[in-house]
Structure 1
Amino acid sequence: MTDSAYPARYWHRLDDGRIQCDLCPRDCRLRDGQRGYCFVRQRVGDQMVLTTYGKSSGFCIDPIEKKPLNHFYPGTSVLSFGTAGCNLGCKFCQNHEISTAREMETLADSASPADLVRAAQEWHCDSLAFTYNDPVIFAEYAMDVAEAAQEAGIHTVAVTAGYIHAEPRRDFYAHMSAANVDLKGFRDDFYRKITGARLGAVLDTLSYLRTETDVWFEITTLLIPGLNDDPEELRQEARWIAAELGPDTPLHFSAFHPDNRMLDTPPTPPATLTRAREIAMDEGLNYVYTGNVHDRAGDTTRCSGCGGKLIVRDWYRILSYRLTSDGRCPDCGQPLPGRFGAEAGDFGPRRIPIRIGHQGD
């Protein structure tokens, strides 16, 4: 079996002759030749295969803050890559050329786990990120890459919507150092109508990360005017995070830009992000950030003890980094939650597309 038809895990046979994919809550039931909602998991004969194993829609070196992760080795670089397809159907998806791809020929680049680790080492990347489309749907590939990366001392980052069943979730996050989870709203009807998914499964993933793993995670909510930016909804989201995940959980509010099937929806006003940040902090969250806009105040990490500026950012550039060698505020000694080095990295706002492996099949 070729890499492009890699044996998949997480499925079982049904009495009616179909097989059911057990990776995510969609529970796709397939006959021979059919593909799941994500399009990349397919029934071939009497088994499930992952059709995108070893293939990618591209590779890029990014700042870790772009994932976004503000409390995970600030200023360092991360090798980012994704494949194709998605198990959500977000009408606002800003990577829809990748997430809705239906032709595997669009995956022009091939890379084995060893290729990716070697590239990360050659480019002096501290981390390797599974992003652009959701790594849940290429879990077998992501886990193999993550295992190889961690053996080489390279951190692993999942950028995901968190829409995954319990058994694969346990296996998947056992291989991850950090994650950014998209909490796309805080109403189930928003999830159903706008993303085609359910809120409860995402909250279960966030609770699992908090209570059952050592994975460092942060949360992002993309604010869409008129759909998920109601102040009361934002209060409920912040309250749930504070109560269930803890007040030190970083939350990023990012700006929507018209895209995909929502071209007539206006972009998010910067004032909406500022208001959302204020609401979340009023509800007890200590680290709330704004994204996709130029907002130095919303990029800055302050001490939850004395309020001093610990990490000052300008877009993806670190302007000031004031932490002790053990990650504490130098003024009051309050620890800063996250993963930090003695010094910040200096990768800055660069974006460096690279090639790995070979083009074509």
Structure 2
Amino acid sequence: MKEALFYELVDQEKGVIKCLLCPKECLIKKDQVGFCRARKNINNKLYSLIYSKISSYGMDPIEKKPLYHFYPGIMVLSLGTIGCNFSCDFCQNWTISQANIKDVSVEELSPEKAVQLALQNNSPAIAYTYSEPLIWYEYVLDTAKLAKKNNLKNILVTNGFINYEPLLKILPFIDALNIDLKSFRNSFYQKYCQGKLSPVLRTIELSKEYCHLEITNLIIPGLNDSEEEIKEMVDWISSLNEEIPLHFSRYFPCYKMNISATPISTLYKARDIAQKKLKYVYLGNIWDEEANATYCGNCKTLLIKRTGYNIINLGLDEDGKCRHCGEKVVHL
């Protein structure tokens, strides 16, 4: 265990701590854990129960995160733990995200060993993913700092639900994020995720100023698939930067949700709406080469062809620019 950052003792007599890491700001009584099940009040101090605890790890294609405009084609060391500050009815990784630390088999992996593992596997980056990395805050921060010293990049795959101060502290050590924007309706976040929309939007707004950013939106039939909502979301993203890549992902029944899978036609309709405002729009969880190819946002030349997670560079130079017109398209 490691003492947590970002908390305050609000009632010493009763032993109540307020966690200040995420907008839930759980009030945690002595010997209890917060909503995420990863932070515990022990003798009026808050501790992370998951520091250096690894539930999943492996070498993944960076396209799996998904990141399509950040070092395309590389394999990246991916690390995950347990717990989450959301409880999404449709969670694909619910066996770890909704687990308690005592109920899951975990391994110890110190920040030093994580960096060593990345170097041994010739991974140019470490991705913090699988479960929610922001509740793993202390470990991610320590590992990211050490990774930077060893010329490694740091990637967060996150729901973006974090308070302003801790976000501001960690962003200087992060090189790329994929943020899951689950809906553009607060009512959706409240009902299906037990969260809120506005902090996620704030994370997106702030993150784009620090590092490479891509956004994923899982489209669920009847819940967040209306043309009106998609248009509002796209308009907002384009107002930040029309070059932010947006990934519409196909939903399949999972965990507590048994709604039928997203029709392919819904994804194409969403892409048509988004392409009117955004330069880079992709469709995930379907094997459509054209829908996952990267075209130059300026001259529309085909630059990267994707077959599954395999890529073919057809038109990028060594600086990530289009060879035809010179437009900067990806980070290399």
TM band (smaller chain): over 0.9
CA distance in 2, matches of 1:103, 1:156: 25
| TM alignment of 1:285-296, pairs within 5 A | 285-296=278-289
| TM alignment of 1:42-53, pairs within 5 A | 42-53=40-51
CA distance in 2, matches of 1:35, 1:86: 12
Other structure's SS at 1:275 match: helix
* Percent identity of paired positions between Structure 1 and Structure 2: 39
Matched, 1:339 2:331: yes
**Structure 1 unmatched ranges of 5 or more:** 341-361
Q: Residues 133-169 of structure 1, C-alpha deviation per residue, up to 9 Å, x if partnerless?
A: 1111010001111111111111110000000001101
| TM alignment of 1:74-113, pairs within 5 A | 74-113=72-111
| TM alignment of 1:256-295, pairs within 5 A | 256-262=251-257, 264-282=258-276, 284-295=277-288
Partner of 1:317: 310
TM-score, length-scaled by structure 1: 0.89
After superposition, the CA RMSD in angstroms is 1.1
Q: Residues 288-344 of structure 1, C-alpha deviation per residue, up to 9 Å, x if partnerless?
A: 0011110111111111111100111111111233112332211122221x312xxxx
Matched, 1:219 2:215: yes
Q: 1:17 offset after TM fit, Å?
A: 4.2
Query: Displaced runs of 4+ in structure 1, greater than 3 A?
Result: none
Contact 1:52 1:104 in 2 (8 A): no
Q: Residues 42-93 of structure 1, C-alpha deviation per residue, up to 9 Å, x if partnerless?
A: 1000210000111111211000000000000000011111110100010000
Q: 1:30 offset after TM fit, Å?
A: 1.3
Matched, 1:254 2:249: yes
| TM alignment of 1:57-68, pairs within 5 A | 57-68=55-66
Q: 1:104 offset after TM fit, Å?
A: 2.6
CA distance in 2, matches of 1:151, 1:90: 36
Contact 1:85 1:100 in 2 (8 A): yes
Contact 2:315 2:324 in 1 (8 A): no
RCO higher in structure (CA 8 A, sep ≥6):
1
**Structure 2 unmatched ranges of 5 or more:** none
Other structure's SS at 1:136 match: helix
CA distance in 1, matches of 2:223, 2:324: 41
Q: 1:105 offset after TM fit, Å?
A: 4.6
Other structure's SS at 2:147 match: helix
| TM alignment of 1:147-226, pairs within 5 A | 147-211=145-209, 213=210, 215-226=211-222
Partner of 1:238: 234
Q: Residues 141-198 of structure 1, C-alpha deviation per residue, up to 9 Å, x if partnerless?
A: 0111111111111111000000000110111222211110000010110111011111
TM-score, length-scaled by structure 2: 0.97
Alignment length (residue pairs): 330
CA distance in 2, matches of 1:188, 1:235: 16
Code of the residue aligned with 1:239 in structure 2: it is: D
Contact 2:56 2:130 in 1 (8 A): no
Code of the residue aligned with 2:216 in structure 1: it is: T
Other structure's SS at 2:145 match: helix
Other structure's SS at 2:275 match: helix
Contact 1:83 1:107 in 2 (8 A): no
CA distance in 2, matches of 1:149, 1:69: 19
CA distance in 2, matches of 1:132, 1:17: 33
Partner of 1:37: 35
